[in-house]
Amino acid sequence: MSPGTDSTVTGPQPPTPGEGPEEPCFDGVVSGAETDVDCGGPVCPPCGPGQKCAGPWDCQGDLCVDNLCGPPPQCRVAADCPAEFCRQPLCDGGQCVYLDLDGDKCDDGDPCTDGDLCVAGKCAGVPRDCGGFDGPCQHAFCNPASGNCAVEFANEGEPCEDGLACTLDDFCAQGQCVGKPGPVSLFDFNDPGAWMTDPPWMIGPAFPSQCAVNGFEDPPEDHSPGGENMLAGAAIGGCLPDEPLPADACLTSPPIDALLLAQPVVLQYWSQLSAVPLPPRGPSSARVEAWSGKAWVPVFESKNEPLDEPVWTPHVFDLTPFVNPALKVRFCHHHPEPGLPPVAGWSVDDVYVGPPECQPP
C-alpha cells in the first residue's frame, strides 16, 4: 500500500451518469450498461421484480438478491398486511403472504346463505332452505334484499291436490290449492227431507219426557248448533209404548250415492239412548243397519241389554264395505213382547255419511 493511499475497501458502486456511451433503452435487447432488457444501469429505468441486477440501484424496489430484483418491501410485521376474509396474513421477508383458513366462521355478505364458514380460503355458506314454504301452487325462494323466505304464485289455474277428500276439481288460485265442496250427507233434521219414520219414530222439536223408570229422559235440546232444536226420536217427549213392536220400527235415511264419496266412508251420529231388557222369551233390541244394495246389515246392535246414554254421545261406524249408489242407514227399535218398562228410547241428531276427515266436530 503506498503512503497517502485510502485503505478503505468498497463494494460495487453505481455507475456515474454520463460515463460510458449513451444507451438506447427501448431497443428490446440488453445493451450497454443495462442489466436486463431496456432496464438497469445508470441511464435506463430501474428493473422490475425478477429482472437481472448488479445492485439495488438497478431495481425499482431497491432490492437486489442473487442478481435478481426483488419486490419492494410490503411489511415489517403481519399487521402491516391488508386483512382478507378467510386468509391469515404473514410477513415473510418483507412480503405479505397469506395462509388459507378452513372452518373459521365468516360472513360471505350474502343474506341468503346460512352457516358461513371458511373453506380453502374462501367464505361460503349453505343456501337458505325455503322449501317449507313450497306448495303445489307456489314457489318459495330467498329474497336477496332481506334474506327472508318469500313465495311467488305458480301454476295458476292448473289442477292440484289439496289433500282433502271433501273437495273436488282442485285447482291453483293465487298460490292456494282450492276445490269445490264434494258431496257430503249431513242431516240435522231441521228439514225432515226424505227420511222415513215408522211409529213411534218422529222428527220434530226436542222435548223432555217425564216417564222413564230409570230417570233417563228425552233431551230438552238437540245436538246441532243454532236455535232450530230439531231432532229425530222414538216418541219425542214420551216413553216407548209398552205394546209389542212385532216388526222393526225404524228411522230410515234417504238413499245416498256413496260411489261419489271419497273412501273410506263412515257413519257418524249423535244419540241419547235408553234401553232396558225384556224377559229372554222376547228380547228387545236397538240396532243401526246399513243397506248394502241387497240387504240390511247391522253395524251396531244392543240386544236385550241395558244401555243408557244420559248425554249426547257420538258414534262412528265404517260403511266402506257397503258403498253402493243407493246406500241407506236406519235406526230400529224392536220388542216383540208386551211388558216393556217405561223408557225414553232413542233420540238421534246430526247424522253424517262421508269421508272421516270431512265429518263435523
**Span 12-48, pLDDT tens digits:** 455 555 444 455 798 999 998 999 999 999 999 999 9
Per-domain residue ranges of the chain:
131-181, 185-358
- pLDDT score, position 284: 66
The residues that bridge with 152 in the sheet, in sequence order, are: 139
Q: What is the pLDDT of residues 187-200, one digit of tens each?
A: 999 998 899 999 99
- For every residue of 82-119, DSSP letters joined together read PPBTTEEEEEETTEEEEEE--S-B---S-TTEEEEEEE
Look up residue 87 and give its amino acid.
Answer: R
pLDDT over 70 (residue 244): yes
CA dihedral 291, 294, 296, 299 (to 10 degrees): -60
Other beta carbons less than 10 A from residue 45's beta carbon:
14
Please, what is the average pLDDT of the chain? 87
Counting every residue written for the chain, the total comes to: 361
Question: Domain spanning 185-358 has what CATH number?
Answer: 2.60.120.200
Q: Is 31 exposed, middle or buried (0-12, 13-18, 19+ CB in 10 A)?
A: middle
Using a 10 angstrom Cβ sphere, with 0-12 exposed, 13-18 middle and 19 or more buried, the burial of residue 26 is: exposed
Highest mean pLDDT among 206-215, 254-263, 330-339: 254-263
Give the separation between CA 290 and CA 296, rounded to whole angstroms: 6
Q: What is the pLDDT of residue 104?
A: 93
CA distances to 120, 230, 277, 314 from 234, in Å: 83, 13, 17, 18
How far is residue 174's CA from residue 352's CA, in Å, rounded to a whole number?
Answer: 32
Residue 7 pLDDT > 50: no
Confidence of residue 353 (pLDDT cuts 50, 70, 90): very high
Please state the rounded mean pLDDT for residues 254-272: 92
Given a cut of 50, whether residue 331 has pLDDT beyond it is yes
Q: What is the mean pLDDT of residues 296-307?
A: 84
pLDDT at 328: 97
Indicate if the pLDDT at residue 221 is higher than 80: yes
- 48-98 pLDDT tens trace: 999 999 999 999 988 898 999 988 888 899 999 999 989 999 998 888 999
**Where does the pLDDT of residue 127 fall: very low under 50, low under 70, confident under 90, or very high at 90 and above?**
very high
pLDDT confidence of 337, banded at 50, 70, 90? Answer: confident
Confidence class for position 123, pLDDT limits 50, 70, 90: very high
- Report the pLDDT value the prediction gives residue 289, as an integer from 0 to 100: 97
Q: Which residue has the higher pLDDT, 297 or 344?
A: 297
Q: Residue 61's pLDDT is what?
A: 82
Place 3 in a pLDDT band, splitting at 50, 70 and 90.
Answer: very low
Q: Residue 104 carries which side chain, given as an amino acid letter?
A: D
Q: How confident is the model at residue 151 (pLDDT cuts 50, 70, 90)?
A: very high
